[in-house]
Amino acid sequence: MNVEIQGYPSKRALVAKICGDIDHHTAKYFRGEIDKAIRNANPLVLVLDFSEVTFMDSSGIGLVMGRYKIMSEMDGEVVVANPPAYIRKVLQLAGIHRLTRIITDISSYTVQKNSEEEKETSEEVAEDDKIKESDEIEAETYK
């Protein structure tokens, strides 16, 4: 169980790839990690990549709806990517497809139109930003 989070600053997109089961026990961890990344990156689009999710119950609905609320407050949106069939069933039952788009191709949020070189540079910058911001957060915690 883990979540791989990658920022794409030029698209103002944040992709969170959730791996493993989403239940009440694990949702707390996923929620914490994703919300921390949202605060740091301030994205316009949060892509929840469900391609590696092995199980999901209504705790996953809560996870999506909670992030939808946060992103809406920032005038942003949530997109759900690649849910396996059995997870799609749970999402549809809750009407999640009426709140967020469900997509099968995330490349429009991750692939740069320009050269590879530029991509690397922008990612490095993003990495620096992240480090800086996490330092600031830590500094606040220790005040």
Partner 1 sequence: MKLKRKPINEIKVCFPSYSENERFARIAVSGFLTQLDPQIDELADVKTAVSEGVTNAIVHGYRDCLGEILLQIKIYDDRQVYIKIRDKGCGIADVEQAMQPLFTTAPEEERAGLGFAVMESFMDRVRVKSKPGEGTTLILEKKLKSRKL
Residues that bind partner 1 (CB under 8 A): 21, 23-25, 27, 31, 55-59, 61-63, 65-66, 85-86, 89-90, 93-94
* Of the candidates 106, 70, 100, the residue with the CA atom closest to the CA atom of residue 88: 100
- Judged by beta carbon, residue 93 or residue 131, the one nearer partner 1 is 93
Q: Minimum Å distance from CB 34 to partner 1?
A: 12
Joined tokens for residue 135: 């330092």
- Judged by beta carbon, residue 21 or residue 133, the one nearer partner 1 is 21
Yes or no: say if 110 and 15 are a contact pair by the CB < 8 Å rule: yes
Q: Minimum Å distance from CB 13 to partner 1?
A: 23
- Judged by beta carbon, residue 13 or residue 63, the one nearer partner 1 is 63
| Residue 64 C-alpha from the chain's centroid | 10
Kindly state the DSSP code that residue 11 receives in the 8-state scheme. G
Q: Minimum Å distance from CB 88 to partner 1?
A: 11
Q: What is the DSSP string of 23-45?
A: SHHHHHHHHHHHHHHHHHH--SE
- Judged by beta carbon, residue 32 or residue 108, the one nearer partner 1 is 32
